[in-house]
């Protein structure tokens, strides 16, 4: 389980009503092992020879199949699944009249655009992929299956306001949406002493979707003195040309680390110019460390313009460069925003807050369950 799904399971466990958690593996000590069905050694591992994307798709389909069979056996009164890996289980839940919620980790599959159920491009691809010749293409969950999941679940759990907006744009009834946000460990992520050097951090996969190429170009354009940009995360191949073009001596690649909090505490501000996120956990971790955010609204709900940081537009090099210059020349102002960011996290985005919102979503689903 990832952190968010584990916290969801803990909410059920501590509430005294967790029937069974079906997952690939789990590293925790609180939930009784008798309540966890681990698929760590599963038949899908026979497909491990596939590339990572296809193998992951096989695992998700196997997880869905197993969960649907468990639900079919009876003894369960509620289902909580994740988008992209619970279509069959949601069908079974609807047939049985079992209330269901589905976690949506990011935006609506249409990504804020208005699309028909099947586009011309998708129709041509479906016809071209008939038969066994392109069997791997059939492994990945299609957009149509995602849309069916949205319809089948009684309540959709929204990670952020921006995510909810993409569902409203797609025509999903607002009554079906329930905001859960995200959480962060405020004990692990705590403010440190402000460094003398103006150091800006980024945490996450070093990819274009997260705007790292924009950050590199903006950093070079800003031309800040006695400053450093620290990139924490796995460097993807697509980013190497941008590093060669815009990388400078004051850009440090920190790689992947288990001590993210240490890197954050050594920073003055946190930059996250992503163009599409559900709710980037790194923004909450940075806020919990008392860092002001220079981020897009698309990154999640941690950045509030003029309060917890500066809101920038995605793919806006000039705007990001201007924000970096402003942050470097107004450190007292930014430090106050960092204090407000920490306060906001303590008041709204701890894991206790997340679990409470989740249980409210469960109650909402039970009130509006639909039966076939």
Q: What is the pLDDT of residue 27?
A: 78
Do 3-183+351-367 and 198-348 come out as alike in CATH topology? yes
Instruction: Return the bridge partners of 184, or none.
Output: 350
Within 10 angstroms of residue 315's Cβ, the number of other Cβ atoms is 14
Give the DSSP letter string of 293-357.
EEEEGGG-SS--BTTTEEEE-TT-HHHHHHHHHHHHH-HHHHHHHHHHHHHHHHHH-BHHHHHHH
Q: Classify residue 234 by its DSSP letter.
A: P
- Residue-range domain boundaries for the chain: 3-183+351-367, 198-348
pLDDT in tens, 264-311: 999 999 999 999 999 999 999 999 999 999 999 999 999 999 999 999
The CA distance from 38 to 84, in Å, is 19
Q: What are phi and psi of 232, to 5 degrees?
A: -105, 120
Q: What is the mean pLDDT of the chain?
A: 92
Distances (CA, A) of 183 to 161, 171, 210, 354: 15, 28, 20, 6
Contacts of 230 (CB under 8 A, 6+ apart): 199, 200, 201, 202, 252, 254, 263, 266, 267
Residue listed under structure tokens 């466990």: 13
Q: Which stretches of the chain score pLDDT less than 50? A: none
Name the CATH superfamily housing domain 198-348.
Glycogen Phosphorylase B; (3.40.50.2000)
Q: What is the pLDDT of residue 126?
A: 63
Q: Classify residue 146 by its DSSP letter.
A: H
The CA distance from 90 to 104, in Å, is 14
The CA distance from 243 to 246, in Å, is 5
pTM for the structure as a whole: 0.91
Q: What is the pLDDT of residue 127?
A: 61
Q: What is the pLDDT of residue 9?
A: 94
The CA distance from 203 to 325, in Å, is 20
Helix, strand, coil percentages, rounded to 5, for the chain? 45, 15, 40
Q: What is the pLDDT of residue 301?
A: 98
Distances (CA, A) of 58 to 62, 116, 146, 172, 291: 6, 27, 16, 29, 40
Class of domain 3-183+351-367 as given by CATH: alpha beta
């Amino acid at each position: 389980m990832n952190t968010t799904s584990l916290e969801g399971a803990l909410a059920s466990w501590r509430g005294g009503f967790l029937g069974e958690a079906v997952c690939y593996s789990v590293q925790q000590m609180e939930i009784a092992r008798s309540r966890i069905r681990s698929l760590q050694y599963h038949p899908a591992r026979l497909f491990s020879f596939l590339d990572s994307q296809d193998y992951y798709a096989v695992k998700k389909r196997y997880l869905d199949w197993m969960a649907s069979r468990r639900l079919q056996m009876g003894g369960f009164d509620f289902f909580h699944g994740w988008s992209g890996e619970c279509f069959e289980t949601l069908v079974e839940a609807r047939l049985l009249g079992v209330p269901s919620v589905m976690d949506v980790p990011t935006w609506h599959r249409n990504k804020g655009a208005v699309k028909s159920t099947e586009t011309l491009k998708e129709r041509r691809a479906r016809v071209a992929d008939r038969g066994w010749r392109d069997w791997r293409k059939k492994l990945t969950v299609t957009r149509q299956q995602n849309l069916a999941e949205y319809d089948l679940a009684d309540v959709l759990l929204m990670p952020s306001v921006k995510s909810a907006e993409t569902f409203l744009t797609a025509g999903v009834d607002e009554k079906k949406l329930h905001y859960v946000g995200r959480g962060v460990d405020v004990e692990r992520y705590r403010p440190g002493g402000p460094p003398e050097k103006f150091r800006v951090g980024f945490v996450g996969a070093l990819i274009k979707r997260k705007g790292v190429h924009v950050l590199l170009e903006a950093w070079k354009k800003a031309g800040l003195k006695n400053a450093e940009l620290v990139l924490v995360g796995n460097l993807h191949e697509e980013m190497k040309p941008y590093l060669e073009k815009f990388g400078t001596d004051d850009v440090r690649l920190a790689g992947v680390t288990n001590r993210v909090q240490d890197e954050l505490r050594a920073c003055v501000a946190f930059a996250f110019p992503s163009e599409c996120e559900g709710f980037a956990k790194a923004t909450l971790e940075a806020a919990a460390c008392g860092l002001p955010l220079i981020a897009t609204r698309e990154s999640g709900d941690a950045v509030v313009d003029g309060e917890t940081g500066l809101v920038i537009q995605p793919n806006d090099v000039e705007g990001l460069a201007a924000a970096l210059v402003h942050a470097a020349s107004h450190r007292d102002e930014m430090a106050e925003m960092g204090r407000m960011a920490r306060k906001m996290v303590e008041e709204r985005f701890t894991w206790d807050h997340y679990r409470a919102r989740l249980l409210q979503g469960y109650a909402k689903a039970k009130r509006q369950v639909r039966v076939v």
